[in-house]
Amino acid sequence: MKNFLKYTLVALAGSTLGLTSCGLDEYNPSAGNETVDSFETWKGLATYCYSPLATQLYSVYDFLSVAEGGTDMWLCPSGNRDYAKQLIYYDGLTTNTNASNKLFKQAYTTIPSCNSVIANADKVVGGTEEEKAKIVAEAKTLRAFYNLLLVTYYGPVTLTTEEVGNVNTKPVRSTVEDFYQSITTDLKEAAEALDNTPVDGNYARVTKKTALGILARAYAQGAGEGLQEDGKSYWQRAREVAEDIITNSSAYNVYLYDNIDDLWAQENNRNNKEALFIASGANATLSDMKNYYVKNNLFTYTICNPNKLTDLYTRSDKGNYYLGRTNNNTFAPSKYSIDVFDPSWDRRWENTFMTAFGMFSMTDPDHQWVGPYAGTCVTITPPIVKKYGINTKFTGKKIYPYIDMKVVEGGAYNQYVPSGVWPKGETSGNPDKLLQVKNAYVVDYPVALDDNRFAIVMSKETRTPEEKAQSQYFTLNIDDLYGSSEYSTEFKTEQFDGTNSYQLYPSLIKFNWCYNGSWGSGLNTKNGDMMIMRTAEIYLIAAEACQQLNDPAAAAKYLEPLRIRATRPGATTPALGTVTEDVIFDEYAREMAGELNRWALLKRHHAFEDRLAKYNKRAAKFFNPERHYLRPISADFLNQIDNKNQYGDNGYGTTPGKGF
């Protein structure tokens, strides 16, 4: 045991292993005089097993592109039409493609730390047996999670049993069945040992509901491989586990918000009651976060840059204390992702996509960084009227700010938080008039034709020229963005209305935060909590399993709560009808858009060929079912083992065979 821990201490020297939201000083392996077989050292290694979650998997673009790219839901926007094309479109995907290469290494190399914790618990001096059992259960939960990533995205690779410091240079592939048997065994044992209270009361650590939730996900994913357990199909087991979680939700401390707005409210991001498993972001209200290494910039990839229409939306992204830096712009919704929503009743639309962009003011006299209220207004000039097709009657009118932002000092970095939203029609700049909202990026649908707070509005419904003429803002019909000369499902790549509007797109906002403690060291980092799994997915898995088991009525029963809580006041939830596989796909899209699960869903239903042909024709052109149901094995991994040619690369042509 001393050898593996010495190895770990060297590898992690200077690193902090604590979880980010609840105290980074939980354990630092280089800071104390602990002996290598002490309880605290061993516990620190268990904490290290969490490290890829917040530092890489759920904070940078790589895993997002692997887990959501190459599906029916996401495209490259016209401003970056070839960015990550290997994963978004299967165009040139190979073993050294950065994102899939990194994901493999992050999962594969963390498992030995989990193994070391599990294998050496009985050698640890100190701690109670109950404490040790919970920490072992944590390690089993995490090991199962990383193994599930590997088998989902890379298929029958190696189910490694190596501990830290032991390197197998001639690994042998395991079977898919072996993987799922290990995963489900780990999770069942972990669920038995864990309870509802996380270790040290740290909500970023796993609990019983985490293990059970991942178990339901694992059974659903394994069902796509045709697996059985004790004579039962994995679909049946997925249904049983999901139904148990739902039926006994109070016993497991499982919660489903009854209003979709509360799920995505900024004040509910930390310790969200619906979260089953999170990657915790650094809390910048604490001054000692200044040197923390987690920097989540996912939002910069999913949001468009309204300053592309610089004469209308005049605030540069380098000084946008409301949206943050909007400079990457690489991940945009397909037309299917737009059409699947009916915002006339479904508030998941505006909780998922931002389609209206207004300026911000900063009326706090101590931080008027963008000038006084009047100075943040945009005057509609004759050139703007002509260029954007705005009715001439609005010439000389002003576009007033939508929101007021203030600066909070005293933590690790300046924090930019809303003072409130200006009411429609307000022009005084009196901060007493500001309204409080749950999420500064959720703009109520529909934007009124006479709203004076927006420069740009992307309309879900096609507005006629007569309807556009009633608004002083620039109206862009979303449907007009699609239909390139090469692919009907792609974004247009050149101006179609005399403006740069073709570079805009409805922007995923689930990774954008602006509450006190969420902003990082620059405007391009925001470190909120990422939900790896939440309760709604359990309802979806239950419905999915029921549908696959030919019980559509039961499937509907589990979809209805998600639809009802998303229904806007005054609207009626539409009847669901018979739940088919396509209905399942649609409900996952509405509820879980962008939440790093779409590729896995389509894989387990063997749906790529059909869905890509309909909704992502560019990807369909390159998709090869002989290899693209798996991501390529990491080139770095292959180059470090002695049996590369025997191991194989999953059919990507860099080895003689695929390896299985």
Domain 2-280+531-647 has CATH 3.30.450.20: no
Q: pLDDT per residue over 479-527, tens digit each?
A: 999 999 899 999 999 999 999 999 999 999 999 999 999 999 999 999 9
**CB neighbours (10 Å) of residue 475?**
24
Contacts of 123 (CB under 8 A, 6+ apart): 1, 37
Write the DSSP symbol of residue 57: I
Q: pLDDT per residue over 221-258, tens digit each?
A: 999 999 999 999 999 999 999 999 999 999 999 999 99
Across 350-357, average pLDDT: 99
Residue 45 pLDDT more than 80? yes
**CB neighbours (10 Å) of residue 366?**
9
Residue 17 pLDDT more than 70? no
In whole angstroms, what is the distance from residue 172 CA to residue 157 CA? Answer: 8
Q: Give the 3-state secondary structure of residue 143.
A: helix
Residue 1 pLDDT more than 80? no
pLDDT at 289: 77
Residue 7 pLDDT more than 50? no
Q: What is the CA radius of gyration of the chain?
A: 25
In the chain, domain spans: 2-280+531-647, 298-528
Across 110-136, average pLDDT: 97
pLDDT band at 290 (very low <50, low <70, confident <90, very high): confident
What is the DSSP code string of 159-215?
A: ---PPTT---SS--PPPHHHHHHHHHHHHHHHHHH--SSPGGG-TTS--HHHHHHHH
SS3 string, 218-280, reads: HHHHHHCCCCEECCEEHHHHHHHHHHHHHHCCCCCCCCCCCCHHHHCCHHHCCCCCCEEEEEC
CB of 405 within 8 A of CB of 416?
yes
Q: pLDDT per residue over 131-163, tens digit each?
A: 999 999 999 999 999 999 999 999 999 999 999
Q: Give the 3-state secondary structure of residue 104.
A: helix
pTM value? 0.95
How is the chain split among helix, strand and coil, in percent rounded to 5? 40, 10, 50
Q: pLDDT per residue over 527-567, tens digit each?
A: 999 999 999 999 999 999 999 999 999 999 999 999 999 99
